[in-house]
Structure 1
């Protein structure tokens, strides 16, 4: 009950702040770089398989044929010919290594890598990742990873007793990969255009951003292609100074449009909404119906017979009692208002957060909530 009141109080404060100044929030301008990015600005996924050594008996079991074959292949590179059937070790583990290659990565840059066990190892604590090539989607090796693992958990077991914290079969190597082949993103198209992509596609925001670029930089440079992309022509005198031109575009101030949305999470009892989300006039009545069924068992013993016959015996009788109680809930007519005002009214009636979620869903079903209802 205390957690529900805390969540409700937090939401009421947020709703009051958002609802108290909806017009101020609506006129707030943002930089273009906070609304999206240029097309071609992306990270590239790298992945590879490697071996973690130095484990204290917590690695893959000797029956894991994949681990034995991988370890035999590593030994063969150092002129040690050992059949995979003779490899017996619990101090190694076969792992999957992944990393993200950022845009404009250059040779010598370092990346953080994530190491996950793909065998039956119990823990990677204390392990060291051997040199592992990381490949991109094109099959080309872009980075090499190795180093000591940072797990952030542990697992110890003895005689059937297990003590574990977090996930000891997943670790990371900070700055554990070195870029060998960099990438250069192609931002400028053949037609000498840049395409700015909005994080949240919206026709109104795209049109406003194109108008703001034409107004603040130069007329006729930008036009909105669709709800997500804005094509920007690069003048001939700016093609050699593309970095400075892009910096000017990122600094363009624009007022984004936002879609009315209410997000609810029934698992945690959380409601998040913009303070200016409107609700039409609606009648609300909410209450709880509780049905209790109670069984009482008693023994019926005939008392008027001193000597019971063969057909007379003790009987077990069950009495069932059904109780129906209906708790009084909020019942009122809400005029055209906002979600923030409605929540504050329900808070004064001491309505719990989960009941507010049920009320909002019913209002949406009735067509009175003019916003997108997102249920997580």
Structure 2
């Protein structure tokens, strides 16, 4: 029997994964700003409905997009051009679009923001078009920005009589700095006597470590973990809050996370967390390959045969190849380093490795969540 290192010395998982292990006992310190967000410091979604004009015959067909026709009529009426019949509006250079944007925190009046323009009808392409004035509203129905300007399309589409080609998505476009903020979101940091941090990945241990790090900076009882997600920071006296938050967000902590193995069966990618442990278990991996090959032969009659016919004679070649399997005893509480060493020492495919991990989990020897995506 061969000599193996650790539990999955016969697994060879990481040959396919490219997983790299950190030295045992190494810890990764990260800034608080990379694992948490401050209450109130967030983006807000904006959305609006508008028209893109100036298209080269690639706009909506008014027969299939009646909302585009109504929008054109309403726009022309506001501009002083009214009383047009349906037969008089036959343009194919206009497209109805949805305009979306993200309003950054603390955006001030006149600040530019980027917008995304997406076709709503059956337009073939938005290339070369111009978005006309489009109000962008928030979840409360208030207008916070107004968008307008020429759009930039990354994709393209071309079509001939017998062939067509499409690259990317020509019905989605962007306008850099295409909207102007017209209303600010009311929020004053300096009026708060406390502020809360929200962890992106809820965890009791991480929340307590963040609170302890803030206490060390601001003093005892300045921060406390309210739950696995929220840490409350109390501001004593008249404190310049932005300066305090700048110091807090650059504090270094060691985040914790539950033991987890994530498997993407489609691509064969496997990611193993640092806290994954495997109990004492015996592992055996072997393979059985059956190859069936059809080699039909054609039998023809002699040239002078009367009434003879051509016959296909089937021939099948079946071969069985069985690889030798061995049992490997895995010692209890194997660390990630030994696990990675074992996986790098052998050359199994990702499919076999995934099957072994699932079997170890079913046996109750894998102390981690096994998530298959």
* 8 Å CA contact 1:330, 1:349 repeated in 2: no
SS in 1 for 2:37: strand
Who is 1:41 aligned against?
41
The 1:91–1:330 alpha-carbon spacing in structure 2 relative to 1, beyond 3 Å, is farther
2:345 corresponds to 1:348: yes
Quote the Cα distance in structure 1 between the aligned partners of 2:38 and 2:237: 19
- TM alignment of 1:17-28, pairs within 5 A: 18=22, 21-25=23-27, 28=28
**Once the two structures are superposed, what CA deviation does each residue of 1:300-350 show, in whole Å capped at 9, x if it has no partner?**
99xxxxx99xxxx99998677755433345642222323443343244332
Task: Please tell me the root mean square deviation across aligned C-alpha atoms, in Å.
Answer: 3.2
Who is 2:114 aligned against?
112
2:15 corresponds to 1:8: yes
The 1:341–1:209 alpha-carbon spacing in structure 2 relative to 1, beyond 3 Å, is same
1:371 to 345, 368, 372: 368
2:242 corresponds to 1:235: no
2:362 corresponds to 1:362: no
Q: Which runs of 5+ in 2 are unaligned?
A: 1-11, 301-305
User: How much has 1:125 moved relative to structure 2?
Assistant: 1.2
SS in 2 for 1:236: coil
* 8 Å CA contact 1:38, 1:196 repeated in 2: yes
* 8 Å CA contact 2:98, 2:119 repeated in 1: yes
2:171 corresponds to 1:169: yes
* 8 Å CA contact 1:103, 1:184 repeated in 2: no
Quote the Cα distance in structure 2 between the aligned partners of 1:247 and 1:130: 40
SS in 1 for 2:50: strand
* 8 Å CA contact 1:145, 1:177 repeated in 2: yes
* 8 Å CA contact 1:72, 1:83 repeated in 2: no
Q: Which structure ranks higher in relative contact order (CA pairs < 8 Å, sequence separation ≥ 6)?
A: 2
Structure (1 or 2) with the greater helix fraction: 1
TM-score by length of 2: 0.85
* Alignment coverage as a number of residue pairs: 357
Quote the Cα distance in structure 2 between the aligned partners of 1:208 and 1:298: 75
User: How much has 1:258 moved relative to structure 2?
Assistant: 2.5
Who is 2:152 aligned against?
150
**Once the two structures are superposed, what CA deviation does each residue of 1:264-283 show, in whole Å capped at 9, x if it has no partner?**
21211212223553222222
Quote the Cα distance in structure 2 between the aligned partners of 1:151 and 1:339: 47
* 8 Å CA contact 1:278, 1:371 repeated in 2: yes
**Once the two structures are superposed, what CA deviation does each residue of 1:155-211 show, in whole Å capped at 9, x if it has no partner?**
011214111101111111111011000113355787x22111111111111112222
Quote the Cα distance in structure 1 between the aligned partners of 2:293 and 2:349: 28
The 1:71–1:335 alpha-carbon spacing in structure 2 relative to 1, beyond 3 Å, is same
Quote the Cα distance in structure 2 between the aligned partners of 1:42 and 1:347: 43
* 8 Å CA contact 1:290, 1:325 repeated in 2: yes
Quote the Cα distance in structure 2 between the aligned partners of 1:342 and 1:205: 25
Quote the Cα distance in structure 2 between the aligned partners of 1:236 and 1:106: 28
The 1:276–1:224 alpha-carbon spacing in structure 2 relative to 1, beyond 3 Å, is closer
SS in 2 for 1:119: coil
The 1:24–1:293 alpha-carbon spacing in structure 2 relative to 1, beyond 3 Å, is closer
2:331 corresponds to 1:335: yes
Who is 1:325 aligned against?
321
